[in-house]
Amino acid sequence: MQKTEKTKKPIYFGWYVCAATVFIGFVSIGARNSFGVFVIPMSEEFGWSRFTVSIAAALGVFTNGLIQPFMGQLFDRTGGRKLILAGLFALGVSTILLALTFHILFLIFMFGFVASMAQGGPALSNTAALMARWFKRKRATAISINAAALSLGGLIMVPFSMYLLQATSWRIAWVGLGIIVLTSLPLAYFFIRERPEDMGLNPDGDPTPPSNGPAPRARELKGPLEVETWRESFKSAPIWQMAGSYFVCGTTTFVLSVHFIPFAIEDRGISGATAATIFGYMMGLNIIGALGAGLLSDKLRGTKNWLALVYLMRGFAYVCLLTIDSVAGLWIFATIAGFSWVATLPLTSSLTADVYGIRALGTISGITFMFHQFGGFGSVLLAGLLFDITGSYVLPFSIVAVLLFPAAISAYSINERKYSVRYQTPVTTAAAGD
Amino acid sequence: MAWLFSFILAHQGDAADPELLHWIKERLDQIFGTGPWAVVALMGLVIISIPAFVVIVYLLQAKRRSAAPQPNQGTQKYEKDSMEEFHHRVR
């Protein structure tokens, strides 16, 4: 009787890399999101107006958005490990140094420039590019876990900062946040590795098949649009289709981050607490939406179809928001929009990697992220301006809502079957001829 | 211009909306009903438990990792054998 020895397979190292980037995203976004908590105590101590403090925050937004393509380029050239470690160290130290704030210029410099630039290192566009190296079949899932961690970081780290501030002082709270960011350094040091090949592994932890069979060819498959430099990618249609719809994603999410609660209070006549409850519920759902989008896209394929569906869902949610003039309309909107809120991120990132490969992915993702930020920035300004003119949010919300339908068409019309590496088939004759 | 201010701050993160922050704090106060230090300690523990969990799992998996062959070992062995055969033929 033949005895078969069964040994359980160890967890693929890529999942440790994923866990490390999850924690990195969690703490770094949390430290950054907590800025709002510090505005009142710092303003009160120094006698600054809120507008003065907002200069630091505004500079932070611009710096962080503009730096992303450059950080992406650094990622592609020097590697993710060095960039993430350096970014985390600089973010942790600059957060601690915020405790020494004595003048508004110091705050502007330290938060608006140093911390915001440092945050570009461990930003999601880079960690998503890292995930794309470690995963192929489970790429969207790994990226979606990272995206969900950002939402979770905001929801846990911000209240943590609030209580820390209440228990101590704003100076100690900054130090505490900085220390938490620095605690992610050992994890990043031990677990962040550039690519599976460096550790003798294959993407997804797949075993290496016999070298004389056709399978190795399948693993080395390339998409027809795979690029060496980011410039090449912008000569083809899919990147414009993705960046265009991502721009709309920015316009439709940012505008609500800012104007949803005022809209619910002023246009729908509900209390601030109820408005916040609905918004909090929507933010909670986005974690499930992000994870679900990644899993479904990997299991059932058709990333661009899921992406189009997400935009369509969000468009439908906006229609409900604008046409159902009651609290029920807000809840329906929050339910549908909540699932679609962050879901675009893992889908866009994984589709970008599937079409353009991973060599220039950091830069390409950084640029598409910039499109997203520009869309968000423009929409919020436009919504505020139109609200001042018309006295209602109906017109600005209608404009951004209308954009979601061409965005869905744009995503749906991406020729994924032709360009995505997932749909390429190996040429068996070439393999056999070796 | 209030919207401009709220925009700038809200871009630091969705959860930074003042109404939402107030709501979160009220809910947490209801849940915990204790002083801020207790909540800080509890949340701090939750945050730190994430990397601790990752390290523990990695260490627990050490035995399995050493027992399982590396995916590329087969290929490397094949390449090594091929090189040895090549050198043998040259000699």
To the nearest whole percent, how much of chain B has pLDDT over 70? 48
Structure tokens at A402: 């209308």
Q: Verify whether the Cβ–Cβ distance B48 to A183 is below 8 Å.
A: yes
Q: Decide if pLDDT at B6 tops 60.
A: no
Average the pLDDT over A176-184 and give the result.
Answer: 94
> What are the chain B neighbours of A34 within 8 Å (beta carbons)?
12-13, 16
A228-267 residues touching B, CB cutoff 8 A:
254, 257-259, 261-262
Q: Verify whether the Cβ–Cβ distance B7 to A273 is below 8 Å.
A: no
Is B64 part of any domain? yes
Report which of residues A285 and B71 the model is more confident about.
A285
Judge whether B49 is closer than 8 Å to chain A, CB to CB: no
Which backbone phi and psi does A41 adopt, to 5 degrees?
A: -60, -35
Judge whether A139 is closer than 8 Å to chain B, CB to CB: no
Domain hosting residue B24, numbered range: 16-69
Q: Decide if pLDDT at A382 tops 50.
A: yes
As for how many domains chain B has, the answer is 1
> What are the chain A neighbours of B51 within 8 Å (beta carbons)?
23, 183-184, 186-187
Q: Verify whether the Cβ–Cβ distance B71 to A201 is below 8 Å.
A: yes
Residue A4 pLDDT grade (very low, low, confident, very high; cuts 50, 70, 90)? very low
Minimum mean pLDDT among A61-70, A80-89, A90-99, A239-248: which range? Answer: A61-70
**Nearest residue in chain A measured CA to CA from B61:** A10
Question: pLDDT digit string (tens) for A13-36?
Answer: 999 999 999 999 999 988 887 887
> What are the chain A neighbours of B48 within 8 Å (beta carbons)?
183
Q: Decide if pLDDT at B85 tops 60.
A: no
Is B2 part of any domain? no
Minimum-distance CB partner of B37 among A7, A60, A167: A167
Most confident of A341-350, A423-432, B68-77: A341-350
Minimum-distance CB partner of B39 among A36, A163, A254: A163
Q: Verify whether the Cβ–Cβ distance B74 to A208 is below 8 Å.
A: yes
Minimum-distance CB partner of B8 among A57, A167, A383: A57
A190-219 residues touching B, CB cutoff 8 A:
190-191, 200-202, 205-208, 210-211
The answer to whether B54 and A189 have CB atoms below 8 angstroms apart is no
The answer to whether A275 and B19 have CB atoms below 8 angstroms apart is yes
Question: pLDDT digit string (tens) for A264-287?
Answer: 887 888 887 788 778 778 878 888
* pLDDT for position B15: 39
Q: CA separation (Å) from B28 to A17, A134, A294? A: 32, 38, 31
Most confident of A4-8, A261-265, A393-397: A393-397
CA A2 to chain centre: 51
Is B63 part of any domain? yes
Report which of residues A43 and A431 the model is more confident about.
A43
Is B84 part of any domain? no
Judge whether A61 is closer than 8 Å to chain B, CB to CB: yes
Average the pLDDT over B50-64 and give the result.
Answer: 90
A370-389 residues touching B, CB cutoff 8 A:
376-377, 380-381, 383-384, 387-388
Chain-wide mean pLDDT for chain A? 86
To the nearest whole percent, how much of chain A has pLDDT over 70? 93
A13-197+219-423 fold: Growth Hormone; Chain: A; (1.20.1250)
* pLDDT for position B14: 41
* pLDDT for position A156: 83
Judge whether B26 is closer than 8 Å to chain A, CB to CB: yes
Write out chain A in H/E/C secondary structure: CCCCCCCCCCCCHHHHHHHHHHHHHHHHHHHHHCHHHHHHHHHHHHCCCHHHHHHHHHHHHHHHHHHHHHHHHHHHHHCHHHHHHHHHHHHHHHHHHHHHCCCHHHHHHHHHHHHHHHCCCCCHHHHHHHHHHHCCCCHHHHHHHHHHHHHHHHHHHHHHHHHHHHHCCHHHHHHHHHHHHHHHHHHHHHHCCCCHHHHCCCHHHCCCCCCCCCHHHHHCCCCCCCCCCHHHHCCCHHHHHHHHHHHHHHHHHHHHHHHHHHHHHHCCCCCHHHHHHHHHHHHHHHHHHHHHHHHHHHHHCCHHHHHHHHHHHHHHHHHHHHHCCCHHHHHHHHHHHHHHCCCHHHHHHHHHHHHHCCCCHHHHHHHHHHHHHHHHHHHHHHHHHHHHHHCCCHHHHHHHHHHHHHHHHHHHCCCHHHHCHHHCCCCHHHHHCC
Measured CA to CA, the distance from residue A247 to residue A252 in angstroms comes to 9
Boundaries of every domain in chain A: 13-197+219-423
Q: Decide if pLDDT at B86 tops 70.
A: no
A336-339 long-range contacts (CB < 8 A, ≥24 apart) are A337/A256, A337/A282, A337/A313, A338/A281, A338/A282, A338/A283, A338/A284, A338/A285, A338/A286, A338/A288, A338/A289, A339/A285, A339/A286, A339/A288, A339/A289, A339/A292, A339/A313
Residue A40 pLDDT grade (very low, low, confident, very high; cuts 50, 70, 90)? confident
